Amino acid sequence: MATENEKLSSARPSTSEDAQGDARDHEKSDGITLPSHVAGSGTLDQLVETARGYAEQAASENTLKAYAKDWAHFARWCRLKGTDPLPPSSEMIGLYLANLAAPTGKAPALSVSTIERRLSGLSWNYKQRGFNLERKNRHIASVLAGIKRKHARPPVQKEAILAEDILAMVATLPYDLRGLRDRDILLIGYAGGLRRSEIVSLDVHKDDTPDSGGWIEILEEGALLTLNAKTGWREVEIGRGSSDQTCPVHALEQWLHFAKIDFGPVFVGTSRDGKRATETRLNDKHVVRLIKRTVLDAGIRADLPEKDRLALFAGHSLRAGLASSAEVDERYVQKQLGHASAEMTRRYQRRRDRFRVNLTKAAGL
């Protein structure tokens, strides 16, 4: 007999189809409509579509996709339990969270952070449908608190790519068009402490494309990046390096020159023969694949099996590498990474002198 979790996974064709279906449902019930007492018109209908467009920009595309999948999973779970996800039931959501932490079938238990993300996804989805999810309700809050107390673990952090690592990684790349592009991605991402989404969303100029996440300005002293980041607009200064071989700004100039890019996305694909740049913006997954491939090619952490080495490094390894390698005042690292607090910056510092300030001695002991 099929287990409950097997039923859950087979109840509908696929998660992606469910997510797409729920996205369509959301478009119909996202709450951005005319009041019932107002008659529609061409102008007002156009404004509704404009308002919906702005509403969609309230969260990133990846976040919206994750929220859609969260809702699809919860909706299927409710159907298997003989209930409906609407209106929200604090009791059923509490049971759902418990099932995520301690599944009854073969499905693996989710981490506390993933369960919290699922709950945020449900809260967002309910809000779009005109409902308010009371996360402080005891049926939800007490279950979540118990899950945290029993299952919470220190966060698993990705390995930092340090200065000697990034140099070894770029040394593995050829000097053809793809190599110039990938070398610049690694150096710009490392020197700027950028997220992978921030790297690939860069344009040459302001407002070059509708999906732009920022633009660049090349100056004599370095490059100035203006980014539309998670915490709002911020500027990132990337100074010139000590040599052309390792300078991120020089690598940027080389890529733009030989790829003949003067408008639109900075980082794009190349033709199959690798001789010309296309107009298609790279996906942020390219950054992850590039990091993992060059980590292997450079022999970083060669003491570990290949599977473990691949699991250690990801897009955040570039940001953690800058935070861990830059021997400067912590405030400058915090500004470069765009963190609201020094505590968040310290989470990215894999190696730092934790006892530089000895409060024990300062207190007279």
pLDDT in tens, 84-134: 999 999 999 999 999 999 998 788 999 998 999 999 999 999 998 889 999
Average pLDDT, the chain: 84
Average pLDDT over residues 210-235: 89
Comparison of pLDDT for 355 and 34, the residue scoring more: 34
**Distance in Å from the first CA to the final CA of the chain:** 67
CA 17 to chain centre: 22
Q: Are 172 and 186 in contact (CB under 8 A)?
A: no
Residues facing 226 on adjacent strands:
215, 235
- DSSP annotation of 265: B
Q: Are strands 214-218 and 202-203 parallel, antiparallel or unpaired?
A: parallel
- Cα–Cα distance for residue pair 68/56, rounded to 1 Å: 13
Q: Is the pLDDT of residue 266 over 90?
A: yes
Q: Is the pLDDT of residue 29 over 50?
A: no
174-179-183 Cα angle (round to 5): 110
What confidence score (pLDDT) does residue 39 get? 77
Comparison of pLDDT for 173 and 31, the residue scoring more: 173
E strand or H helix at 277? strand 277-281
Q: Is the pLDDT of residue 17 over 50?
A: no
Q: Are 52 and 32 in contact (CB under 8 A)?
A: yes
Token couple for 363:
């207190």
What confidence score (pLDDT) does residue 23 get? 41
Q: Are 81 and 94 in contact (CB under 8 A)?
A: no
Distances (CA, A) of 311 to 183, 187, 299, 315: 22, 21, 14, 11
Distances (CA, A) of 180 to 96, 160, 246: 49, 23, 12
**CB neighbours of residue 199 within 10 Å:** 26
pLDDT in tens, 288-331: 999 999 999 999 999 999 999 999 998 888 888 777 766 666 67
